[in-house]
């Protein structure tokens, strides 16, 4: 186990999280810990059946993103299965909540609900996983954010139409930079994965008048993996990237 690369991915049941889990499993000598809301679901059983490269394996754990206690229980379950460190922690699970509401209409409860899932959920995951991240020789913490969370480009992105989601992703961005600032051995950064052909991505694209999202899950996954594989403390950590373009996004 000590020589295995361990990757922990929240929200591995669908979308980009599922695609990332499958990609890492295709690499030899990798242990992939993936969280889903319901480990007994048919979807979860499909993930467990993903083909694994030589020396690789998949562990399925339960995390409901609105639960702040689930991450700690999931990490303990992984430890019981022999995981003694985490090399790559990917806070992927999230959600946009209900329909888009303008700033003068969105309710505090809507903002709270979306913030809990997209910011406080990753915070709880980070806190639970940190003791195992600290045991890695090269720990990486990646947050799957969104361009909607950029304050500097809000007007250009017209992100003001999604205040709950934008506030939540800006919170995730802050957490990522704090992890970078407080841990000099970490590589911690966030990415906008692109407008991807997932359920949520396609809904957002239709709201923009597009037939579907322009980027495939494979395009986004390959771009994210390239960023992670080549990430350095000096060039990558503490920053916000557009995964598809490979360029920085202003905070």
Residue 169 annotated as catalytic: yes
Integer Cα distance of 222 and 128 in angstroms: 27
Tell me which of 169, 186, 217, 239 is the catalytic residue. 169
**What secondary structure does DSSP assign to 151-214, as a single string?**
STTHHHHTGGG-HHHHHHHHHHHHHHHHHHHH-TT-EEEEEE--SBSSHHHHHHHHHTT-SS-S
* Candidates 24, 165, 186, 217; catalytic one: 165
Listed in sequence order, the residues at least 6 apart from 117 whose beta carbon sits closer than 8 Å to its beta carbon are: 65, 66, 93, 94, 95, 97, 168
Cα distance between residue 28 and residue 18, in whole Å: 18
165 catalytic? Reply is yes
Residue positions annotated with a catalytic role: 165, 169
């Amino acid at each position: 186990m000590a020589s295995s690369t361990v990757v922990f991915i929240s929200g591995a049941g669908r979308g980009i999280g599922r695609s990332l889990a499958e990609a890492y499993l295709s690499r030899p000598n990798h242990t992939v810990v993936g969280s889903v809301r319901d480990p007994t679901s048919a979807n979860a059983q499909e993930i467990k059946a993903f083909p694994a490269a030589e020396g690789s394996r998949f562990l399925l754990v339960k995390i409901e993103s609105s639960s702040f206690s689930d991450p700690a229980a999931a990490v303990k379950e992984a430890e019981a299965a022999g995981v003694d460190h985490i090399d790559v922690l990917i806070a992927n699970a999230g959600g946009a909540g209900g329909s888009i509401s303008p700033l003068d209409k969105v309710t505090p409860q809507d903002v709270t609900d979306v913030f809990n899932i997209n910011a406080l959920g990753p915070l709880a995951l980070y806190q639970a996983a940190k003791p195992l991240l600290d045991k890695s020789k090269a720990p990486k913490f990646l947050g799957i954010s969104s361009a909607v969370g950029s304050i500097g480009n809000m007007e250009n992105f017209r992100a003001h139409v999604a205040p709950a989601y934008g506030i939540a992703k800006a919170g995730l961005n802050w957490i990522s930079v704090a992890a970078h600032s407080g841990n000099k051995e970490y590589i911690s950064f966030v990415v906008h994965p692109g407008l991807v052909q997932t359920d949520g991505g396609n809904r957002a694209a239709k709201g923009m008048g597009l037939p579907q999202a322009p980027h495939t899950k494979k395009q986004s996954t390959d771009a994210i993996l390239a960023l992670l594989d080549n990430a350095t403390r000096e060039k990558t950590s503490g920053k916000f990237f557009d995964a598809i373009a490979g360029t920085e996004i202003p905070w």
